[in-house]
Structure 1
């Protein structure tokens, strides 16, 4: 079914209202969300076997979750069955990360870097979404820092036409071994001086994550101007979380600021920088964002003909 321009506009307006987004967000969708949805729909139409698996990669705080949510709505309005997954929902349970922290390196206690997810769970979920019938979509409870009970996972009735897999390291490839020698920040210098932690994450990308990321049919990449902007975006996320907690009358004890946030973001600096260097030549769509999260071009379609 063709989605008219008026239909798209009405859907976007409702999304902006429901998500309490600023009014100018509708203008952004005309340059990013709506053309990307059309591109994905065309990919799905040209694909012989379903589902089409589209990776959406971008640094922390760049707007991936909002982008994915609106893409799903725009695609569903075209009568496409869309399942959405976040790599965050594939985190290992806390007990498993604690085991890795004891056996391999203490920094693996903090979720996020490769090696702290369950790629096999992601592959199994993609396999299930290709079949008719119900599929439970994994969910992670960040407040509890643990995987949500399976009974609470949402159910998707398959088969899916499209799967959107979003995450900060979706599609990432391992670095050359020689790139691991020098620390990129004080966290690596002081807490991973021999490179065990970063080596483990890199080996995970070369090993178990290849099976998951190898299932991507297409990859959309968002990039930031530099890592300082990523740190600022992540700080804005914490500000919004503090405000939401305040509105609920709850203490901001789940938020970070200052040195704590700097240390947290440092966990992801190496791979964020590497992705921005490595993936633009491999992605199907490259979207360069400015510091205000607006695309510098109207949906730059890199390698779109592949």
Structure 2
């Protein structure tokens, strides 16, 4: 169940930026497993808003393979800045902004099992003119790091596969350039702040266990180990955001059960 305080926070941001002729664009940011997609989807249903995720606008598999060849092999893995089709996101938002009461706007979709964009015929369609546009994304609102902070690897993945720092510098340059331009167009961003990076692995494992139909405690240790490696792709920027490297209008700290933290 989505906490009412979180739904109210999204609704208040949308109401604050609503005005005649303008559809508010609100971002929901948070680490893997923080509940950002569930929150954005629930808030959209409550408000009559359109919802999409940065996960919906990944580059195609072929496009990421090209990046892997031309820039760095780690860009074959979807998720980090540089692996999204920001033009597709902006075109979709423009279509939603111009929608009329009788409009039908296709919303991009990504097939994670196939690791590729879903066929356009399978995209969901938003009917009418939305009350707001809600976009969730793990790195939404993230600010670029200083060059000095990029020098040393932050984990084993970076040490072993990005020793020279080409991948993390390319992702950082994307954050400083095209991602910053897109993020600046948002009216407001809500950041769901994890209590620590350690919680992210537990949350991601809970997600995986749910997909497998298992209680979290029964997730195979080998799969947990694989997920521990996978989230290293996101560790640098996630830690940066937890330390304040995010532009957000509202930050809500979560406890390990994903409930808003009340000291």
Could you tell me the TM-score, scaled by structure 2's length? 0.91
Structure 2 portions without partners, runs of 5+: none
Per the TM alignment, residue 161 of structure 1 is displaced from its structure 2 partner at its CA by 2.6
The residue aligned with 1:9 is none
**Residues 93-139 of structure 1: CA deviation (Å, up to 9, x unaligned):** 00011111111111111100001111111111111111133321110
1:162 to 126, 132, 138: 132
The residue aligned with 1:19 is none
Report the 3-state secondary structure (helix = DSSP H, G, I; strand = E; otherwise coil) of the residue aligned with 1:160.
coil
The residue aligned with 1:152 is 122
Matched, 1:92 2:65: no
Q: Quick one: structure 1 residues 256 and 234, their matched pair in 2 at CA, closer, same or farther if it must change by over 3 Å?
A: farther
1:111 to 75, 78, 98: 78
Per the TM alignment, residue 256 of structure 1 is displaced from its structure 2 partner at its CA by 7.1
Could you tell me the TM-score, scaled by structure 1's length? 0.79
The residue aligned with 1:271 is 237
Structure 1 portions without partners, runs of 5+: 1-24, 77-81, 245-251, 299-306
1:205 to 172, 175, 178: 175
Worse-superposed segment, 200-209 or 289-298: 289-298
Q: Matches of 1:102 and 1:181 in 2, distance apart? A: 23
Report the 3-state secondary structure (helix = DSSP H, G, I; strand = E; otherwise coil) of the residue aligned with 1:194.
coil
Contact 1:59 1:224 in 2 (8 A): yes
The residue aligned with 2:143 is 173
The residue aligned with 2:9 is 36
Paired residues in the alignment total: 256
Contact 1:224 1:230 in 2 (8 A): yes
Which has the greater radius of gyration? 1
Q: Quick one: structure 1 residues 49 and 256, their matched pair in 2 at CA, closer, same or farther if it must change by over 3 Å?
A: farther
The residue aligned with 2:203 is 233
Q: Matches of 1:56 and 1:149 in 2, distance apart? A: 26
Contact 1:44 1:162 in 2 (8 A): no
Q: Matches of 1:60 and 1:279 in 2, distance apart? A: 17
The RMSD of aligned alpha carbons is 2.1
Per the TM alignment, residue 44 of structure 1 is displaced from its structure 2 partner at its CA by 4.2
Matched, 1:216 2:180: no
Q: What are the residue-to-residue correspondences of 1:1-306 with 2, within 5 Å?
A: 25=1, 29-33=3-7, 35-45=8-18, 47-76=19-48, 82-132=49-99, 133-243=103-213, 257-279=223-245, 282-297=247-262
